[in-house]
Structure 1
Amino acid sequence: MGKLDGKVAFITGAGRGQGRSHAIRLAQEGADIIAVDIAAPIASVPYPLSTPEDLAETVRLVEALDRRIYARQADVRDKPALKAVYEAGVAELGPVDIVLPNAGIIHHGVKDFSPEEIFRDVIDVNLVGVWNTISLIAPDMVARDAGGAIVLTSSTQGSSGRGGDGSPAGLGYAAAKHGVVGLMRTYANWLSPHNIRVNAVHPTGVATGMILNDALGRWMEENPAGVASAANLMPIGMVDPVDISNAILFLVSDDGRYVTGISLPVDAGFSVK
């Protein structure tokens, strides 16, 4: 018996990184997965994003756990495309119980695009994409009257501006991740009376392709003071994706059945440094 037997989870950014980890961890506990990923480049993003092959690998890994998965490409900024995947996934697997609007990007080190383009891309993916996802699914969860759980992915940058910079990329990322907390609190007030719990996780740096790439590596070399100010209190550089997945599992399972409206840091002490 798994903690999530009979549940269906909708996960964005599921092609790799944290999203893939969440899909696998929830599937290990019995959930079926609707997986969404852009699986394509975004012009202003200076590192490789996921590919169709990455999304196919997520499918393989979930199916190896003997769970069902419906996976399709869609850009979270494109609400009609997201809606089409959601509706098709529900038709295939059943109604959604768990929502993880996880998709996100970072732009450190970008020099070839205007400040307006960079800021807009970060806000549109990291904040508007979260709203697009929840606004599609939450009304159906309320109408179904079966409860559920939503976990938004914020960041240490959603609780502190420490480690950021004055660039449109840094400002956009911090603004989006603070905005995610506002969405979480507002949705928690609306949805908790319907037994739909809404929380946020705040990871420190996570060992994924979003962090482990040449573009961010160059930025870190050029900004040692910013890197030092963003260091964790515990003597580790980054956490693993499964560390975030385990926190999310707690929040979406009955282990966290009375937990709603909180920001849960998984940050190796960053928030108390």
Structure 2
Amino acid sequence: MIERADQLVLNYVSKAADAAHGVLRADQRLDFAKRLRARIEEERHGSQNAREVSKVLARFGDPVALVEREARRLVEAGVPTMRTPMGSAEEGQPSGEESSTRRFPTIVDDADAPPGVQTYRRIARESLGRGRGLPFAGLRRMAMSSANPMATGGRDARTLVKEHPRDAAAMVVLVVAALLLPFDLPPVAIFEIPVLVWAAGAVLVLFSESWSLRDKLLGIGAPLLGYSAGGVLVGGLRVGSEPGLQAFFAQFYSVSGTMFMIGTGLGVVWLTYRLLDVS
């Protein structure tokens, strides 16, 4: 969604502005935030895709590091900041407004690198974008955030829900569908209520713009796979030497609901992991 992509940019600039408190003067913070926002919009090239915007922001790096670099630039130019009082600026240096450059400091990708280096950088970014590295690192970072917020830059389950409310709601609906299975609820027409709830969650997932089609199919297909394939496998093993289809179907229906719940859990975990990867 357009709102989500814009919200990612606003959150990033807000973090940088917050980090500048106590480091830059008020006018410097305002100028810094304006130039940072303009530079992000330039790198973004008008993209409204949340995944692409997230990659652009990742290239800028930690907002705190950007603030520190801006402070060093001003000090080296002889411009006083909150950390350097007016009297400590070198005599003869122009004032902050006169010496401040209007161009935001370059990021890594802006450096004039040879074509071969640029190619390898692109390959590395694509490899990271495919999720290579430690498995489920995003989930571990989110779990660590409660003990060490600096490990995730302040991101946790609460910020994830705040930035992706509809995606979080879709995953909650899938979980509710699985939790309704043990209850003997009357069907609506010919459809069981858990099936209707699962279908509603599946529609929400399919209409999401945060996940790729592959991720969507894995997330909503895992419960069905658990119900069918898992029910057949486990039910067949539990039948043992007892003959007849009646015994098989009895075992199938006794375990298929549990396998559906397990499949739902795995599907939601995968969607959460990929949503963390996007964010």
The answer, yes or no, to whether TM exceeds 0.5 is no
Computing the radius of gyration over CA atoms, which structure comes out larger, 1 or 2? Answer: 2
- TM tier relative to shorter chain: under 0.3
Structure (1 or 2) with the greater strand fraction: 1
TM superposition score normalised by structure 2: 0.21
Q: Comparing both chains, which one has the higher relative contact order based on Cα–Cα distances under 8 Å and sequence gaps of 6 or more?
A: 1
**TM-score, with structure 1 as normaliser:** 0.21
More helix by share: 2
